[in-house]
Chain A
Amino acid sequence: MSQATTGAAAPQVTPYRAAGRRHLSDRQILLLFILPTMILLICMNLIPLIYSLFLSFTEYSVISGTPPAWVGLDNYTQILTSADFWANFATTGRFAILSVVLETAVGFGLALLLRYKFRGSGIITTLILVPMMLSPIVVATFWKLIFNPSYGIFNYLIGFTNPNTAPEWLGRSDLAMWAIVIVDTWMWSPFVMLLCLAGLSAIPDYLYEAASIDRASAWFQFRRITLPQVMPLLLIAVLFRTIEAFKQFDLVMGLTGGGLGTETVSVRLYRLAFQGQFDTGMSSALAYIILVVIIAISNLLIRALNRVREG
């Protein structure tokens, strides 16, 4: 590489070349990292997504052996005009509202209580977080035992000590939905609490000190300092919980199997797709409707979030 220059000749500038035989360019390395994931995503997500969109416009069953027959918007019209499906959506909406409201209230409340350190607050916080780390099917299975009218502890704890008069939570259509809401709240309030705690710990003390010097009342401090500062994280928690609530499947399957007026759209979708006739075309259409609804709700919440962030 080096060149002997003689006399007054200007030193020759040679481009820098790294030693070694073969080198990958930055771009090649980039592709090497990204391509495997891309290929996997395309095969496992994108192609099925597009294929199911196609299937949603056909009459087709995976177990029938006959090829998909194009029916246009028939599947969609059928779903959207059937009172049956609307009932599923209503059930899901009811579940989502009840559980998200309860989880937000309980989670935020717990966060306010655990906000300041005290002896044992670390272990208490960890214990409170345990439910959200469990598998939903496990949770559903042991809450079934907890709800059991003859030997479950739940009725006993809320004051019904006589098994003969105690309510059968999972056996009455007016209580089954509440039972699922209670379990979901038990399981996911810690998640809301975790996000709220993060938000609360980010509020600088001097804001409260300034407020106390400015003679602000406790309520004033909560409304003008605490709430606005936690709001972005609280809304993220609500966003996540709403999406999850809309997809609620495992707890319902585990607790009631979708009976007694607890059939959410996900459960209905599962039945439509994988039970009885395996109505693949119709279930694809329903899946797309759910997708659109979830995207719409998320967008509303994200818009609210941005408004809060901008202040």
Chain B
Amino acid sequence: MSNIRLENITRRFGEIVALDDVSLTVQDGEFFVLLGPTGAGKTTTLRVIAGLEKQNAGHVIFDAHSMDDAQPADRDVAFVFQQYSLYPNMSVYDNLAFPLRSPLRKTPEAEIKQRVTDAAEKLRINHLLERKTARLSGGEMQRVSIGRAIVRSPRVFLMDEPLSNLDAKLRESLRVELKHIQKVQHSTTVFVTHDQIEALTMADRIGVLDRGKLLQVGTPQDIYDRPATTFVAQLVGTPRINLLRTARNNGALNISHSDLTLSAGHENLPNDLLLGVRPEDVRLVNDGQFEGVITLIEPLGVETIVHIRNGEQTLLSTIAGNVQVRIGEAVRFNVVPDRIHYFDIDGKRI
């Protein structure tokens, strides 16, 4: 295992800049998640680390060794592709043994058997070893391709949305298994996903990418509690954060198109700004400071999402459990003052 450093990586495809001056460090044994929407450059970052893609500028460094000129085979990485990249016409066993059987590696057959059985046990696919890959379900295939990565001990695991083609239940259970295996093996892992829940639940640290730029790197808590931009704030958390256009009037903050007024909890605020309020920080209380009308209720069982209208603004509020409110009902609510996020008009955190 080793740590990985990307220094000022830029990768262009013709006119398109897929990665724009990206620098990041993944520590030894860390579970690092790259989060971002489609086309953000997550997969490209992974492919640059693996050597499948060559950067136009910048350096890839493993443990103080430059990997810029190293071929994928020489980088000693394991890659789990989004499309279960199993070798067809081969049994599960042969697929798992494939990386060990490489003529460049020369692993004795007894050890191969040992390692394949170990990996299969970890992923609970030992009953499938003799089966041909064409006769596997999606979840089984992805387990095999993860297995093919863990049979050897690479310097780093690179996983490109390995769970996104699976159904929700399976995704949840594999998520837990992956995290468990990673912790037990203490393996350095870079995991790409567009699913914020995957990112928040699995990551030691998250890097948020958008349009080739790295916006923020931090622990899941950092990302959730102190989003660097409105983009990051909106990317994590469901339902989405409430973003409210606000004007400062001395010590008072007037949320536009509404009669909501707060006192500025922050000095040096610009005259024009955006307020971010997480839905769980909008709380329905009988003697609340603000009033509004309920326009929509989404009961989810564990929680209920309530849409509250004041003026032309609609705030989302999540309330634990089922709540007894009706559409059209007038309610009072509070906003937790020290949980308010302030962004300037360009979306940067203040």
Q: Does A206 contact B (CB under 8 A)?
A: yes
Do the beta carbons of B88 and A210 come within 8 Å of each other? no
CB-defined A-B contacts under 8 Å, sample of 12: A204-B83, A207-B85, A209-B79, A210-B79, A211-B87, A213-B79, A215-B105, A224-B87, A224-B90, A228-B88, A229-B88, A311-B88
Q: Ordered nearest first, which 8 A-B pairs have the shortest CB separation?
A: A214-B99, A215-B102, A210-B85, A215-B73, A228-B89, A311-B89, A206-B85, A215-B104
| A213/B87 contact (C-beta < 8 A), A206-B81, A220-B103, A311-B134 known | no
Contact with B along A208-236 (1 / 0, CB 8 A): 01111111110010001100110000000
Complex CA–CA separation, A113 to B123 (angstroms):
41
| B77 smallest CB distance to A (angstroms) | 6
| B348 smallest CB distance to A (angstroms) | 38
Q: Does B148 contact A (CB under 8 A)?
A: yes
- Chain B interface main SS type: loop
Contact with A along B203-225 (1 / 0, CB 8 A): 00000000000000000000000
Do the beta carbons of A311 and B87 come within 8 Å of each other? no
- How many A-B Cβ pairs are below 8 Å? 57
| B284 smallest CB distance to A (angstroms) | 49
Complex CA–CA separation, A209 to B72 (angstroms):
9
| A217 smallest CB distance to B (angstroms) | 5
| B289 smallest CB distance to A (angstroms) | 56
Do the beta carbons of B77 and A214 come within 8 Å of each other? no
Task: Point out the residue from B72, B88, B90, B105 that lies within 8 Å of A213, measured CB to CB.
Answer: B72
- Chain A interface main SS type: helix
Contact with A along B69-103 (1 / 0, CB 8 A): 00111000111010101011110000000110011
Smallest Cβ-Cβ distance to B83: which chain A residue = A206
Do the beta carbons of B85 and A209 come within 8 Å of each other? yes
Complex CA–CA separation, A225 to B133 (angstroms):
14
| B41 smallest CB distance to A (angstroms) | 18
Complex CA–CA separation, A151 to B86 (angstroms):
57
Task: Point out the residue from A207, A213, A217 that lies within 8 Å of B104, measured CB to CB.
Answer: A217
A207 surroundings in chain B (CB, below 8 A): 85, 87
Smallest Cβ-Cβ distance to A216: which chain B residue = B102
Complex CA–CA separation, A139 to B77 (angstroms):
55
B327 surroundings in chain A (CB, below 8 A): none
Task: Point out the residue from A212, A215, A217, A225 that lies within 8 Å of B87, measured CB to CB.
Answer: A225
Q: Does B255 contact A (CB under 8 A)?
A: no
Task: Point out the residue from A204, A216, A229 that lies within 8 Å of B98, measured CB to CB.
Answer: A216
Complex CA–CA separation, A207 to B104 (angstroms):
18
Apart from the given pairs A206-B81, A229-B88, 12 other A-B contacts in the complex at a CB distance below 8 Å: A204-B83, A206-B83, A207-B85, A207-B87, A210-B79, A210-B85, A211-B87, A213-B50, A213-B73, A214-B148, A224-B98, A228-B89
Do the beta carbons of A213 and B102 come within 8 Å of each other? no
B148 surroundings in chain A (CB, below 8 A): 210, 214
Which of B72, B89, B90, B103: most chain A Cβ within 10 A?
Answer: B89
Do the beta carbons of A209 and B103 come within 8 Å of each other? no
Complex CA–CA separation, A209 to B87 (angstroms):
11
Q: Does B52 contact A (CB under 8 A)?
A: yes
Which of B77, B79, B87, B148: most chain A Cβ within 10 A?
Answer: B87
Do the beta carbons of A217 and B103 come within 8 Å of each other? yes
Complex CA–CA separation, A228 to B134 (angstroms):
13
| B94 smallest CB distance to A (angstroms) | 9
B99 surroundings in chain A (CB, below 8 A): 214-215
B87 surroundings in chain A (CB, below 8 A): 207, 210-211, 224-225
| A230 smallest CB distance to B (angstroms) | 11
Complex CA–CA separation, A211 to B104 (angstroms):
12
| A212/B98 contact (C-beta < 8 A), A225-B87, A228-B89 known | no
Complex CA–CA separation, A215 to B105 (angstroms):
8
Complex CA–CA separation, A207 to B79 (angstroms):
11
Q: Does B132 contact A (CB under 8 A)?
A: yes
Complex CA–CA separation, A4 to B305 (angstroms):
51
| A221 smallest CB distance to B (angstroms) | 10
Complex CA–CA separation, A304 to B40 (angstroms):
46
A211 surroundings in chain B (CB, below 8 A): 87
A209 surroundings in chain B (CB, below 8 A): 52, 72, 79, 81, 85
Contact with B along A193-204 (1 / 0, CB 8 A): 000000000001
Complex CA–CA separation, A198 to B71 (angstroms):
29
Complex CA–CA separation, A223 to B209 (angstroms):
39
Do the beta carbons of A311 and B132 come within 8 Å of each other? yes
Complex CA–CA separation, A282 to B90 (angstroms):
51
| A42 smallest CB distance to B (angstroms) | 41
A213 surroundings in chain B (CB, below 8 A): 50, 52, 72-73, 77-79
B98 surroundings in chain A (CB, below 8 A): 214, 216, 224
A311 surroundings in chain B (CB, below 8 A): 88-89, 132, 134
B52 surroundings in chain A (CB, below 8 A): 209, 212-213
Which of A213, A215, A217, A228: most chain B Cβ within 10 A?
Answer: A213
A210 surroundings in chain B (CB, below 8 A): 79, 81, 85, 87, 148
B77 surroundings in chain A (CB, below 8 A): 213
